[in-house]
A and B are shown apart, each in its own frame.
Chain A
Amino acid sequence: MAAGAANIIEVSGLSKRFEEVQAVDGVDFNIFEGELFGFLGPNGAGKTTTINMLTGLARPDRGSIHIKAIDCSANPKAAQHLMGIVPDESNLYPELTGYDNLTFCGALYGMERRSRENRARQLLKQFGLADAANRKFAKYSKGMKRKLTIAAGIVHSPPILFLDEPTTGIDVASARQIRQLIYDLNAGGTTIFLTTHYIEEAERLCQRIAFIVSGKIVRLDTTGNLMRLTEGRHIVQFALSKDIPGLAGDIEKEFSGIKCQIAPGAAVRIESKNPILIGPFVKFMEDRGAEVSEARKIRPSLEDVFVEITGIESNAMKGEKEKKGGGK
């Protein structure tokens, strides 16, 4: 992203209600040209509804949307030629081949036959799908479907790309490939609006991040500034031989100024604003009958910032990941 880049998307006071649920509630943000902007929140936070309003699939109840200075609140279709959209679920045609899906999507954006055919071939090669070009989309694996859906979103080389949960529910290798593709696209100048509930993914890719909870943006800042909130925090994770009931509470009672959590897999996570001396904790835990097999210093992450700002336990997000099939 170039320094001092102009706003390509301007959103002000955006709201949307579905019957009893206020899905999006007075959201304001700007996205700079060439930026990779992360929109982070748990399921039901309002991420997809926001994307739908930005892309013309939903009508805002209130607020304004300007994309490249085009007022999309009045005419949602006016800026659709500038956008590529990759929805949270692949929505290509199962009966068409990978190649036919891409050429068809190019035609929807008015691309001439030769240029869309060349572009389809180029994208299939770039996304490692050339061998599956003539296979029906229905026969693709989940990871291949995701990649082809992203390819379909950029077939017309849009300046803005909306990516809704691009790595949800796919295998680790495909997720890594997709993250690299997103990085490369942004490096090539595409402005990317990325929604995800994978906090590490946002931390790795995005230049700025907005946290959205219950339809409201609770924090928007550069990834660097958000990470600075973790400065002066120390975390050590101990791996134990077995779970000891009530151990976290006992540790907090014994050692002042620390926060203790039981982590999955018989582990204890200790957080403090002061450097943590491992010895007394190991002794305390071994006195309680647990064998400590490992003590590891952990770099505070964006996940910790998210938990602190939103009050939502990161386990809630992880639970969603597992339900959707992993991906990390």
Chain B
Amino acid sequence: MKARIAFWNILLKDTRSYYLKPPNISWGIIFPLAWTGMFFIRSGQGLDSIIGLLPGVVAISVLFGTTSLLSVTITFEKKGRSFERLLLAPISLELLMLAKTTGAIIFGIINAFVPVIMAAFFADLSGVNWITLIPAIVLIAISSTFLGLFVAVSVSEVFEAQTFSNFIRFPMLFLCGLFFPIEQLPVFLKPLSYIMPLTYGADVLHFSFNNAGHMPLAFNFFILITFCAILFRMSLRNIRRNWIL
């Protein structure tokens, strides 16, 4: 009961302080909109190309929506020492970090649906497999958030968090099979693709929107869940090792 009160209030505070700020809301809408427009114009195939573009745009929206803010806010709170106040609260570290990440996960999921909702006005989405799409978006949001958390607890400065985030995000975008099929990547890059969680999320997105996945669905979901668990555990381990001296 007491832990529930703490969890809910941490989530509420972060939502008010960070996620509901006008710049973030506009970022959440403008960013997916810009990417959709860019790929739409680039494809030159008219409205028919929209569904083909959705896996990439959805994945980008989730990835940037979750990682951008979380890695910066946690580093910021750590630097300003307000994170110490959370570490001193009588709640488990697991619950505390779940409370800190839930806001980012929800923000990422909402971001993912912005391009889907926009696409609904221009394309027929009746062929979309919602049963696989929704859990895929949720798992991509969780794994991306935990990746942001991992970045946040691995650095000490806000600018390091931003740099480190980009160092991971951009290669991931281009190697996960969203824009270039993994089969067509040079041999030395392929192993990199398979150690990135987004590769498996992107495959489910391709399946959900275009019925074009390459790997078994159950395998993709299993790997995504495994990535979530590993990233969360590693982040907690880093907090215990580096922040509780």
- Residues of A whose CB lies within 8 Å of any CB of B are 18, 52, 55-59, 76-77, 80-81, 83, 85, 87, 89, 91-96, 104-105, 107-112, 152
Check B5 against A111 for contact (C-beta < 8 Å): yes
Contact among A59, A92, A96, A107 with B6 in the assembled complex (CB-CB below 8 Å) = A107
Check B13 against A93 for contact (C-beta < 8 Å): yes
Q: Is B80 an interface residue (CB 8 A)?
A: yes
Chain A contact surface mostly: loop
Known: A18-B245, A56-B244, A58-B244. A109 touches B82 (CB 8 A): no
Instruction: Determine the chain B residues whose CB is within 8 A of the CB of A80 once the complex forms.
Output: 88-90
Smallest beta-carbon distance B12→chain A, Å:
9
Q: Is B85 an interface residue (CB 8 A)?
A: yes
Instruction: Determine the chain A residues whose CB is within 8 A of the CB of B10 once the complex forms.
Output: 107-108
Check B80 against A110 for contact (C-beta < 8 Å): no
Considering the chains assembled together, what is the distance between the CA atoms of A219 and B62 in angstroms?
59
Instruction: Determine the chain B residues whose CB is within 8 A of the CB of A55 once the complex forms.
Output: 88
Smallest beta-carbon distance A313→chain B, Å:
31
Smallest beta-carbon distance A104→chain B, Å:
6
Considering the chains assembled together, what is the distance between the CA atoms of A57 and B84 in angstroms?
8
Q: Is B163 an interface residue (CB 8 A)?
A: no
Contact among B6, B86, B88 with A110 in the assembled complex (CB-CB below 8 Å) = B6
Chain B: CB-nearest residue to A93: B82
Smallest beta-carbon distance A62→chain B, Å:
15
Smallest beta-carbon distance A299→chain B, Å:
39
Considering the chains assembled together, what is the distance between the CA atoms of A181 and B91 in angstroms?
28
Known: A89-B81, A92-B82. A56 touches B5 (CB 8 A): no
Contact among A18, A52, A87, A107 with B81 in the assembled complex (CB-CB below 8 Å) = A87
Which of B2, B9, B84, B87 has its CB near the most chain A CB atoms (within 10 A)?
B9
Check B5 against A110 for contact (C-beta < 8 Å): yes
B residues 8-53 in Cβ contact with A at 8 Å = 8-10, 13, 17
Check B2 against A92 for contact (C-beta < 8 Å): no
Smallest beta-carbon distance B29→chain A, Å:
23
Can you add 7 more A-B contacts, CB < 8 Å, to A91-B80, A95-B17? Answer: A81-B90, A89-B81, A93-B13, A107-B9, A108-B86, A109-B2, A109-B6
